[in-house]
Amino acid sequence: MKKNNPRKVALEILIDIETNRAYSNITINKLVKELDIDQIDRRFITQLVYGVLENKLYLDYIIKQFSKTKFNKINIYILNILRLGLYQIVFLSKIPNSAAVNESVKLAKVVNRRLSGFVNGILRSYIRNKDNVKLPDFDKDPIKFLSIKYSHPEWLVKIWLKKFGPEFTEELLKVNNEAPNLTIRTNTLKISRSHLIDLLTGEGARCREGMYTPEAVIIENLTNNLNSLDSFNNGLFQVQDESSMLVGHILDPKEGDFVIDVCSAPGGKSTHIAQLMNNEGKILSRDIHDHKLNLIRENASRLGISIIETENFDALKLDDKLINRADKVLVDAPCSGFGIIRRKPEIKYFKCSKDINNLAVMQLKILNNSSKYVKIGGSLVYCTCTIQDDENIGIIHKFLENNSNFILLDVNSYLPNNIKSHEKFLQLYPHLDRVDGFFICKLKRIKQ
């Protein structure tokens, strides 16, 4: 059987992301599975795809300096072949420049033979003249400098510079281009964390305890595909970042509670809540996509959880049947995702400032609807995987202005000492906290 060329696979993934706005992690997993690619090539494909996406604006900046063809006239396949080649030359010291050029030219010949010389010329011109490539002057234009150096759109850099200042912003941008921890949640219904770590070690993983939650395990090295491990297939853990695990602890569900997770797919938080409830009570997990609801059911079954009921329902609509019925409600709201750029680097190119405004309208409507389901004395957790105030504390302020029957609780009583917040809510940043950027706050219903 002819082996798949990992660079060609990476090219197809990048084209899919750019033309269809596909998500990198989903596309990689799908294509790698379909083509039955081995672990070594999978790692290389992942490195190439993420490397190009993380550094796309910088790579394009180089291409524009050496291309005689207008940038917007370059064939999309040729453009992504150039990005792949340049990424290897600029960032991957273990790959010889000659190999990066030759493999890129081979790919170009498959796509359009007459343009292979164009690819060869630009890559070799860069190698000869790389010392002449200068970034914009930071003092004259800090937005353009940071945008190109760290490949984040100028509009987003501008917002962050205004809110956070240059030092904080540059550290955030830098970390956004680094690989995040692979973190899993121990399924405490079946196993203790220490025992799981022992089992994983025996399966070829090097791992350590997480930083903030008692279930978290950080995997530092893994020789096999995670989904192929017996410990995974036996339901001993679930992939989940610690920031997301903190949501369950702040919600603080009890055995016998009725919990509604209004935007629940793919079910990481719902299954964690079930663990915290010792699989006793009821969780209603909702989403608007049936294939995502299937994922929740599959994960719950693998983990041995029986209290989750799934339902296709749009959180933008009010369900009269659930008013005043829930002990706890979780609103993991649709958001810009700017706290998880490390995991989905394409997000920074897909969104624009107008999207933030549209999302904020949706988020507030979902929160208003969901609040109606909470019993008097019950609580609601609102969270997002973003760091934008307009989607986070701004939404909460607007909600509280019009809902005097709720108060904002202090989440610090639910947090470990090493991650206390200066506010009643929790805002996590990837460069400060070494987890996904996340916002979490808790509201309590005090009257009708």
* Active site residue ranges: 385
| Residue-by-residue DSSP string for 133-160 | --PPPTTT-HHHHHHHHHT--HHHHHHH
Q: CA 6, CA 42: separation in Å to the nearest integer?
A: 8
Among 21, 10, 94, smallest CA distance to 52 is for 10
Phi-psi region for residue 436, left (φ > 0), alpha (ψ -120 to 50) or beta? Answer: beta
Proportion of the chain in helix, strand, coil states, percent, rounded to 5: 55, 15, 30
| Residue-by-residue DSSP string for 347-365 | HHHH--HHHHHHHHHHHHH
Residue 392: DSSP 8-state = T
Apex 435 CA angle, 350 and 242, nearest 5: 115
Given a contact cutoff of 8 angstroms between Cβ atoms, the answer to whether 308 and 283 are in contact is: yes
Q: CA 47, CA 58: separation in Å to the nearest integer?
A: 17
The Cα-based distances of 90 to 96, 100, 108, 391 in angstroms read: 11, 10, 19, 36
Crossing angle (nearest 10°) for helices 24-34 and 39-54: 150
- 311 token code pair: 């339902």
Residue with tokens 């790389």: 130
Residue 364 CB neighbour total at 10 angstroms: 18
Q: CA 222, CA 238: separation in Å to the nearest integer?
A: 15
Q: CA 204, CA 446: separation in Å to the nearest integer?
A: 51
Burial class (CB in 10 A: 0-12, 13-18, 19+), 221: exposed
For 262-353, list the strands marked E by DSSP: 282-287, 308-312, 326-332
Q: CA 104, CA 111: separation in Å to the nearest integer?
A: 11
3-state SS class at 41: helix
Residue 115: DSSP 8-state = G
